[in-house]
């Protein structure tokens, strides 16, 4: 029945998805605020078309959140579905083969900004839901949808909403479909995401810039001082010199390490095509997966100071700034690492310099317990369509909302139907259409299985109806 849904409806589904992708909902650019709202309205209209009796655009200080509830089916479990309708800016525009907001199919791939991250995957879940609707648009389980428009720009609307109304996260499981397969044919669930500690280190050594002929040899140079400080934060072998940094790290389990060793991995292809370097650096006595998934990092993102114009200007800079960040792994806390970084910089800063470390933003790492029965149900769905259960991997990046979705105790399933070469945040982002069609089948199967065994459905009233009751 699900297969025939995709076969029968394919051309309509493509028309709908293209319509959604044509809206340039770039959350970071104020000029596109209206487009973000249009994307939220497109989703609301679509959820209403799918028969949801509760569909709301929730306002906040930023782009709105879309909330919807399926018709209530007593005694059935509730699934919370999260996704985001905003996208990254598309530049550099001249690197796109076809324009980012004119979705185009080439070779079974649909090219557009947001095709994979995350509009295409949101669409996949909506269509899986449509595929399992029975007569009168009744689903086999209760589904609550929450879609935000600020995932890519670090906004707070969804955080504010879930902090004031945590009951919205009350569910038997939360499903986040914003990730990718490990490789073609290899579905994945994610057991951990790294956190982040982003800081600016600024150094002042003089009240004003000086002439390097007159004062060179005696005056402290702010850029040189900054570079010396930075060089002491990390050794040439990749070891980071921030006090207590490695002590807090919870090492991956033996099961995780064994699993990672068995994943297909082409180191030559990884080096030359993905990393595009001559050699990998860092803690070379650890495997690549330990280094990108299970260990903290320290990267310098940019340095500002002195003279960088055309030609030569002989100046001793008075002031210099560097932007740096650490990726954090389970066991570590953003606040602790921030303090430790401030201490590490203070320890190596010379007497003659005023040195400040400002923490710009960050978040804690996330760990997901994939032993919850909801993961078995998802694996059954993967197995029925893909012939393989999901591999358990980690991700090097972060999705800040994930811990909040588990506030009321629901297990948070992090998965997706993208492929590693989808080009998220890059020019020519794409979604492989065969993944979309398979994905609809996988999640439709998941909804059916979850309806049967995903929980006992004891929480009978929905958050919106409770809110209305409370207001009366």
CB of 66 to Zn ion, least distance (A): 16
CB closer to Zn ion out of 27 and 392? 27
Distance CA 287, CA 202 (A): 34
Question: Which pair of tokens denotes residue 393?
Answer: 């991997």
The dihedral through the CA atoms of 247, 406, 416, 261 has a sign that is: positive
* Residue among 178, 364, 422, 448 that touches Zn ion (CB under 5 A): 178
CB closer to Zn ion out of 120 and 338? 120
Binding to Zn ion in span 361-380, by CB under 5 A: none
Q: Is position 256 an interface residue for Zn ion (rule: CB under 5 A)?
A: no
CB closer to Zn ion out of 176 and 451? 176
CB of 87 to Zn ion, least distance (A): 9
Look at the chain and count its residues: 472
Peptide bond just before 118 cis, omega within 30 deg: yes
Q: Is position 422 an interface residue for Zn ion (rule: CB under 5 A)?
A: no
CB of 84 to Zn ion, least distance (A): 6
Binding span for Zn ion by CB under 5 A among 116-124, 209-217, 347-355, 361-369 = 116-124
Per DSSP, the three-state class of 209 is coil
CB closer to Zn ion out of 113 and 127? 113
* Residue among 35, 69, 86, 118 that touches Zn ion (CB under 5 A): 118
Residues 6+ apart with CB under 8 A from 148: 63, 65, 66, 82, 83, 84, 85, 86, 155, 157, 158, 401
Kindly report the backbone phi and psi dihedral angles of residue 87, in degrees, each rounded to the nearest multiple of 5, phi listed first.
-130, 165
Binding span for Zn ion by CB under 5 A among 153-161, 178-186, 400-408, 456-464 = 178-186
Q: Which residues of 330-345 are buried (b: 16+ CB within 10 A; e: fewer)?
A: bebbbeebbbbbbebb
CB closer to Zn ion out of 35 and 118? 118
Binding to Zn ion in span 290-329, by CB under 5 A: none
Q: How many CB atoms lie within 10 A of CB 14?
A: 15
Distance CA 44, CA 59 (A): 13
CB of 151 to Zn ion, least distance (A): 5
Binding span for Zn ion by CB under 5 A among 137-145, 171-179, 231-239, 308-316 = 171-179
Q: Is position 429 an interface residue for Zn ion (rule: CB under 5 A)?
A: no
Q: Is position 86 an interface residue for Zn ion (rule: CB under 5 A)?
A: no
C-alpha 90, offset from chain centre: 17
Angle at 120 between CA 117 and CA 121, to 5 degrees: 80
According to DSSP, the residues that pair with 399 across neighbouring strands are none
Question: Which pair of tokens denotes residue 284?
Answer: 């070379």
Q: Is position 130 an interface residue for Zn ion (rule: CB under 5 A)?
A: no
Interface contacts to Zn ion, rule CB under 5 A: 117-118, 178
């Amino acid at each position: 029945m699900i297969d025939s849904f995709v076969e029968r409806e394919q051309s309509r589904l493509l028309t709908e998805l293209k319509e959604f992708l044509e809206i340039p909902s770039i959350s970071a650019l104020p000029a596109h605020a209206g487009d973000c709202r249009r994307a939220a309205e497109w989703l609301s209209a679509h959820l209403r078309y799918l028969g949801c009796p509760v569909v709301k655009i929730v306002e906040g200080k930023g782009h709105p959140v879309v909330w919807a509830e399926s018709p209530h089916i007593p005694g059935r479990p509730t699934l919370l579905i999260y996704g985001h309708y905003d996208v990254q800016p598309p530049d550099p525009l001249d690197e796109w083969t076809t324009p980012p907001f004119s979705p185009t199919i080439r070779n079974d791939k649909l090219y557009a900004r947001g095709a994979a991250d995350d509009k295409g995957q949101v669409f996949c879940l909506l269509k899986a839901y449509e595929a399992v609707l029975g007569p009168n648009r009744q689903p086999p389980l209760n589904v609550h949808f929450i879609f935000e428009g600020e995932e890519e720009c670090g906004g707070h609307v969804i955080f504010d909403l879930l902090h004031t109304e945590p009951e919205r996260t009350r569910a038997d499981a939360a499903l986040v479909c914003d990730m990718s397969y490990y490789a073609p044919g290899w579905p994945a669930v994610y057991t951990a995401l790294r956190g982040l500690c982003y800081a600016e280190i600024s150094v002042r050594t003089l009240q004003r810039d000086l002439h390097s002929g007159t004062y060179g040899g005696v005056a402290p140079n702010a850029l040189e001082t900054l570079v010396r400080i930075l060089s002491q934060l990390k050794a040439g072998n990749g070891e980071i010199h921030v006090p207590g940094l490695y002590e807090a790290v919870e090492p991956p389990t033996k099961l995780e390490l064994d699993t990672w060793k068995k994943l297909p991995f082409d180191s030559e292809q990884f080096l030359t095509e993905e990393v595009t370097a001559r050699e990998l650096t860092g803690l070379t006595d650890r495997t690549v997966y330990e280094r990108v998934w299970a260990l903290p990092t320290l990267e310098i993102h940019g340095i500002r100071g002195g003279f960088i114009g055309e030609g030569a200007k002989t100046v001793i800079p008075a002031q210099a700034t560097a932007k740096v960040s650490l990726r954090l792994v389970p066991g570590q806390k953003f606040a602790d690492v921030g303090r430790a970084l401030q201490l590490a910089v203070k320890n190596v800063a010379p007497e003659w310099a005023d040195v400040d470390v400002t923490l710009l933003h960050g978040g804690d790492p996330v760990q997901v317990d994939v032993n919850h029965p909801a993961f078995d149900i998802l694996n059954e769905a993967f197995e029925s369509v893909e012939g393989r259960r999901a591999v358990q991997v980690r991700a090097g990046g972060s999705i800040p909302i994930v811990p909040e979705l588990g506030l009321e105790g629901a297990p948070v399933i992090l998965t997706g139907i993208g492929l590693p070469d989808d080009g998220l945040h890059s020019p020519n982002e794409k979604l492989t259409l065969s993944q979309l069609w398979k994905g609809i089948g996988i999640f439709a199967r998941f909804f059916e299985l979850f309806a049967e065994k995903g929980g006992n459905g004891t929480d009978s009233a929905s958050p919106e109806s409770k809110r209305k009751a409370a207001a009366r």
